[in-house]
Amino acid sequence: MLKDAWSIAIETLSWIELKKLSERMALAKTVKQLGIRDPDAIRLGYGLVVETERRRNLIDKFVNSQLKDKTIEDYNMGVQAFLRLYVYQTRVTRNWKGFDLKAADHIAKLGRSILGWETLRPVEPILGFLLTQKIEPIIDAAKDEEKIGLQTFHPTWFVKYCIDLFGREEATAFLAGNLKAPETCIRLSTLRATQEEILAKLEAEGVRLEKVAPLRDTFRILSSKGPLNRIDTYRLGFFYIQDKASCFAAEAADPKPDDRVLDVCAAPGAKTTYLAQLMGNKGEIYSVDYSKRRMRVWRQEVGRMWVNIAQPVIADARSPLPLNLEADVVILDPPCTSTGVFAKLPASKWRLSPKSIEKMTDIQWMMINNCADKVRSGGFLTYSTCSVTVEENEMIVERFLQGHPEFQLAEITPNMGSPGLRGLDKCQRLYPHIHRCNGFFIAKLKKI
């Protein structure tokens, strides 16, 4: 099992690096490629990937300190992945204090059996040094912003960005909040049964929950006997595994029964299925997404959650939407830099740059303008991202209001976040270190 887990981890890290895939997409590709079906090996391999990627900048700097005339990037991707995993397993899991020579030797043998002795031979001489060298001098030698980045595992440019935006103290707290993945939450589906009935079923399956206030149907997981997606209540559509920030976005939109709703960038279906639930499965939902692959998942989730009022629309919201209608509620959750989900998807930290923000704001600006045309008079447009950057959030809203005087900011209920920046107090922000969820922004705009 251990060899399978390490094979999965090495190959998954290689795909992340080669194709810039997310952790889950790279894992799915790896499992299919290697033909490994052992769920324990898959789970262990994925855990190694996520925790290694989370600390990648510190691990790489440590490895590079032991290389003579090369850097870790000079080796092939399999070797890069092995070195990162080796440092994580032998040093990070021991909090950089001491080492277990027997365990390290076993890991080296695993690497040879997976990649081949010849492949690993160029880096064999440094494996012993990686076991014994201290990390503190490397961190202490870094300049201020890089040091914070090494201590909290973030790119230096993003550390500087956060300090400029939030101030040093709050920025450091936010960055530290990304060290752990957010709590796991589920949203109970009252389309299937009452909350009380679902809670009783979950209790019988060994799942302990706690209500997340002030959300209606969201509960945090305190403990479970096994993976949530393998129990009967999940398979039968009694709940959806969903971050509370995503649940908040649907509740903030506040659709009513018999409304016409336009859900833009809808896949894989978390928002659509909750919107239908809030509407009591009465009305119309048009779910728009450009990705046929993601919309296949949307269809599965809509079916699993017993939603029967949603229609899929394959379209790119950067262009005028191919729908001759006006909606009571339009919800736009556009592509973004995902700077609010670094705790959940740490690999995304290392492929972003300041130019990524500019690229995303261009896309978001096209989408929000195309959505504005579909809001009826008196209707609402809800705009949200899982980013913390001001360019993708408040500055988009400011620019939109200047160009669309027929819209104005509306109050958001429930009120569970921090006020928006730049004086946009009616907008709300969620932060990992404060609200124990993904970083998130939401604005609600009424067409007057």
User: Quick check: 182 pLDDT over 90?
Assistant: no
pLDDT at 180 > cutoff 90: no
Task: Name the catalytic one among 162, 386, 427, 437.
Answer: 386
If one counts every other C-beta atom within 10 angstroms of the C-beta of residue 257, the result is: 11
pLDDT band at 181 (very low <50, low <70, confident <90, very high): confident
CA distance 418 to 423: 12
3-state helix, strand, coil in the chain (%, to 5): 50, 15, 35
Average pLDDT, the chain: 97
CB-based contacts of 209: which residues, under 8 Å, 6+ apart? Answer: 186, 199, 202, 219, 220, 221, 222
| Range in 44-48, 99-103, 145-149, 313-317 with the lowest mean pLDDT | 99-103
| Domains with residue ranges and CATH for the chain | 2-140 (1.10.940.10), 144-177 (no CATH), 245-447 (3.40.50.150)
Q: Is 247 a catalytic residue?
A: no
Interior/surface letters 111-122, b for 16+ CB within 10 angstroms, e for the rest = bbebbeeebbee
Contact 324, 299 (CB under 8 A): no
Residues 248-269: tens digit of each pLDDT: 999 999 999 999 999 999 999 9
155/152 Cα distance (integer angstroms): 9
- Report the share of the chain in percent with pLDDT over 90: 98
- Residue 92 confidence (pLDDT) above 90: yes
Q: Note if the pTM is more than 0.85.
A: yes
pLDDT tens, residue by residue, 390-404: 999 999 999 999 999
pLDDT above 90: residue 293: yes
In angstroms, the CA 145 to CA 407 distance is 40
Residue 412 is predicted with a pLDDT of 98
